[in-house]
Amino acid sequence: MTWSGYGSYLVIVVLIVLAPGPDTMVMLKNALSGGARGGLLATAGILAGNAVQGTAAALGLGVVIARSQPVFLTLKWLGAAYLLFLGFQALRGAWRGNYDTVADTQRKRTSGFRRWREGFLSNITNPKVLVLYLSVLPQFLDPVRTTTWDALLLAYTVAVLGTIWLLVLLFFVHRVRAWLSRRKVRRALDGVTGTALVGFGAALALESS
């Protein structure tokens, strides 16, 4: 792979990464409820999910999964159900709005693994991520010259750039945490986040039918 080809690939990946998606909403949900630590753990889970899907795509396993209709549909339904579950959780928090009384309790009850798991599951059960790898990667791979390492480099580039973008968003959220802690602001953000997650889940479910 040439540097010019890799540069073109980076431009496309950056544009894709900047587009809001379920990963962004899951990170924000955990950052709002668990602070910087919650956002970091969710981001780590998303990175792990991205790495797994990228590796599968680079090694050719992604093609097998995408062509297996039962497996692919199962992933779609699981992903849709999980996004709907997370969305309704956020909407329930916005509806109740009792952040002052439950904030400390929620942080204690919500384990670090649970936040990591939310990030991982939201990514790994989203077949659109796998489809992204399978549709974009081949455009920059030469069947004659490209090695497995080249494919892995392209796949992990998506994971790394996605993580960097989430960390930038997390840094911004942390900087304005005092403003975000206001009850009206939290309710509005939880409402927007929950609605977005439900929307993503519903869209995925409709594509599954």
pLDDT tens string 1-11: 667 778 888 88
User: In sequence order, which ranges of 59-138 are alpha helices (DSSP H)?
Assistant: 61-67, 69-96, 99-109, 112-124, 127-136
- Mean pLDDT, the chain, whole residue set: 79
The residues spanned by each domain of the chain are: 3-14+22-208
CA gap 50, 37 in Å, rounded: 20
pLDDT tens string 6-55: 888 888 888 878 877 888 888 988 888 888 899 999 999 999 999 998 89
